[in-house]
DNA sequence: GTCTATAGAAAGATAGAC
DNA sequence: GTCTATCTTTCTATAGAC
């Protein structure tokens, strides 16, 4: 047998990684299967051995990106959870995250895209949003009496800040908006 | 002459109105010129008598939507500017705005869409965002010492809240997020 | 100015060889 | 499992009649 099971798994991973990169760079519709598979080091025809349709890849790519997101990572032993959350927010609302990051947050890069797509994709987005805000609510727990509500607004602010700044043709404005969002986010985290 | 200048202007307005409705409903790429012109009561071929390309329509539609936005409206004589801003935010972050409104905010409904588009479209978006946040900063002036920065974060929060809730397949979650964003927005407006 | 008809260029998905 | 070749559909944009 020339192709092992492991080989197939690796191909699938490469497709998913390419999808995250290309979708975040130019959106779902603009990425063709040809582009995608070339980026992953294969040709168009091989795609359907891994996914039933382009739509299915959409959901899978969002899940894959969420699993490797810094927000999902464990809090290091040596810092407390509030400090950890501050660090997450600083990194999320940064210029580095806007410009071709390794781990782009598809929640922010593709909000509108998802809203216009099939129910299955929207369901996946909704699920990931819940996980993301629950995680942040947990990290807030020690300082914050109304953490569930604050975590929801914080998630919307983070996603909105990144999504909006990515559209700008004006880097200075992006810096100002990111900075304003970081300040507001910090005050939400530290609110009693 | 069977067609007056006024008739042409009216046709153009109908196309713009249809664009705002359809773009906000299903995104830029998914709206075909056929769909658009049928919705506007004409056929495909007539489109190019009004716009050079679909892309040009994109920018024009965003401008048109911004000009008729409630945020751009004058403050009524009988209420003060802070109260007016609260009203704007309440209406913006509402279920009614999410579901097929007359005046959908394309800034929120199309953020991601725009980010993946041509520089011209992004420039238009950037310009409108500045207008929107300046307007809100002015309305905040009387209560708020750091209004320029707060207005930027407020705009990002509003756009993020609406964009995110529109993707959800879960109405209850959308209600919770909208409510959390309204609460945070109100605290930003009233901050000293 | 608006119409119908069509050119011309993709794209998603499938078929069959290796 | 991956390849090349192709079917089929769809879309933007143009041409020319009225």
Residues A52 and A100 in one domain: no
Residues A95 and A33 in one domain: no
Any idea what the CATH number is for the domain that residue A18 is in? 1.10.10.60
Among residues B150, B159, B50, B52, the alpha carbon closest in space to that of B115 is found at B159
Cβ-based neighbours of B148, under 8 Å, separated by 6 or more = B133, B137
Residue B30's domain spans which residues? 5-60
Q: Cβ of B45 < 7 Å from strand C?
A: yes
**Mean of the pLDDT values across residues A140-168?**
92
Query: Which single residue has its CA nearest the C1' atom of nucleotide C5?
Result: B45
Residues B117 and B87 in one domain: yes
Q: Give the tens place of pLDDT for each residue, A59-117.
A: 999 999 999 999 999 999 999 999 999 999 999 999 999 998 889 999 999 999 999 99
B31/A48 Cα distance (integer angstroms): 27
Residues A121 and A175 in one domain: yes
A61/A85 Cα distance (integer angstroms): 25
A112 and chain B in contact, CB less than 8 A: yes
Helix or strand or coil: residue A69?
coil
A177 and chain B in contact, CB less than 8 A: yes
Q: Which of A121, A164, A175 should we substitute to test contact with B (largest number of B Cβ atoms within 10 Å)?
A: A164
Q: Which bases of strand D have any atom within 7 Å of the beta carbon of a protein residue?
A: 1-6, 10-16
**Helices (H) then strands (E): counts for chain B:** 10, 0
A140/A150 Cα distance (integer angstroms): 9
Indicate yes or no: CB of B115 within 8 angstroms of CB of A167. Answer: yes
Q: b vs e for B16-42, b when ≥16 Cβ sit within 10 Å of the residue's Cβ?
A: bbbbbbbbbeebbbebebeebbebbeb
Q: Is the pLDDT assigned to residue B2 strictly greater than 70? A: no
Structure tokens that stand for B163 in this block: 């964009």
Residues A83 and A131 in one domain: yes
**Mean of the pLDDT values across residues B130-151?**
89
Instruction: Give residue A147's pLDDT.
Output: 78
Cβ-based neighbours of B91, under 8 Å, separated by 6 or more = B70, B97
Residues A23 and A70 in one domain: no
B126, B156, B168 ranked by CB distance to A157: nearest: B156
A113/A116 Cα distance (integer angstroms): 6
Q: Residue A48 is inside which H or E element, if any?
A: none
Burial degree of A10 (CB within 10 A; 0-12, 13-18, 19+): exposed
Instruction: Give residue B192's pLDDT.
Output: 62
Instruction: Give residue B62's pLDDT.
Output: 98
Q: Which of residues 28-47 of A touch strand D (CB under 7 A)?
A: 37, 42-46
B35 and chain A in contact, CB less than 8 A: no
Q: Give the tens place of pLDDT for each residue, A156-175.
A: 999 999 999 999 999 999 99
Residues B77 and B162 in one domain: yes
Any idea what the CATH number is for the domain that residue B168 is in? 1.10.357.10
Q: Cβ of A130 < 7 Å from strand D?
A: no
Q: Which residue has the tokens 């998802």?
A: A114
Indicate yes or no: CB of A116 within 8 angstroms of CB of B26. Answer: yes
Q: Residue A72 is inside which H or E element, if any?
A: none
Among residues A71, A57, A75, the alpha carbon closest in space to that of A21 is found at A57
Question: What's chain A's average pLDDT?
Answer: 95
Q: Residue B190 is inside which H or E element, if any?
A: helix B171-190
Residues A144 and A94 in one domain: yes
Q: Give B69 CA → D11 C1' in Å.
A: 31
Q: Is the pLDDT assigned to residue A1 strictly greater than 70? A: no
Taking one residue from A and the other from B, the number of pairs with CB-CB distance under 8 angstroms is: 168
Residues B108 and B124 in one domain: yes
Q: b vs e for B68-97, b when ≥16 Cβ sit within 10 Å of the residue's Cβ?
A: ebebeeebeeeeeebebbbebbeebbbeeb
Question: Residue B66 in contact with residue B72, Cβ under 8 Å?
Answer: yes
Query: Which single residue has its CA nearest the C1' atom of nucleotide C14?
Result: A45
Residue B146's pLDDT band, with cuts at 50, 70 and 90, is confident
Which positions 120-139 of B are in contact with A (Cβ < 8 Å)? 122-123, 125-126, 129-130
Instruction: Give residue B56's pLDDT.
Output: 97
Among residues B150, B125, B159, the alpha carbon closest in space to that of A182 is found at B150
Phi and psi for A190 in degrees, rounded to 5? Answer: -90, -5
Indicate yes or no: CB of A126 within 8 angstroms of CB of B163. Answer: no
Q: Give the tens place of pLDDT for each residue, B37-94.
A: 999 999 999 999 999 999 999 999 999 999 999 999 999 999 999 999 999 999 999 9
A151/A162 Cα distance (integer angstroms): 17
| Distance, CA of A1 to chain centre | 37
Please state, as a whole number, how many other Cβ atoms lie within 10 Å of the Cβ of residue A5.
Answer: 8
Among residues B155, B137, B63, B148, the alpha carbon closest in space to that of B106 is found at B63
Residues B178 and B84 in one domain: yes
Indicate yes or no: CB of B153 within 8 angstroms of CB of A184. Answer: yes
Give chain A's domain count: 2
- Chain B environment of A30 (Cβ under 8 Å): 29, 116
**Mean of the pLDDT values across residues A21-43?**
98
Residue B136's pLDDT band, with cuts at 50, 70 and 90, is very high
Residues A50 and A114 in one domain: no
Residues A37 and A121 in one domain: no
């Amino acid at each position: 047998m020339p192709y092992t099971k492991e080989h197939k798994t690796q191909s699938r991973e490469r497709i998913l990684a390419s999808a995250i990169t290309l979708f975040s760079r130019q959106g779902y519709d603009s990425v063709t299967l040809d582009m995608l598979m070339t980026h992953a080091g294969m040709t168009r025809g091989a795609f359907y051995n891994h996914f039933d349709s382009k739509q299915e890849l959409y959901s899978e790519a969002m899940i894959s990106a969420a699993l490797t997101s810094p927000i999902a990572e464990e809090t290091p032993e040596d810092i407390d959870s509030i400090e950890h959350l501050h660090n997450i927010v600083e990194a999320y609302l940064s210029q580095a995250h806007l410009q071709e990051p390794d781990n782009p947050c598809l929640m922010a890069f593709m909000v509108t895209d998802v809203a216009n797509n099939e129910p299955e994709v929207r369901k996946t987005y909704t699920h990931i949003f819940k996980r993301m805000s629950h995680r942040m609510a947990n990290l807030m727990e020690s300082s914050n009496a109304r953490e569930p509500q604050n975590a929801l607004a914080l998630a919307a602010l983070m996603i909105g800040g990144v999504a909006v700044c990515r559209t700008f043709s004006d880097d200075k404005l992006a810096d100002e908006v990111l900075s304003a969002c970081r300040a507001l986010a910090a005050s939400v985290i530290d609110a009693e």
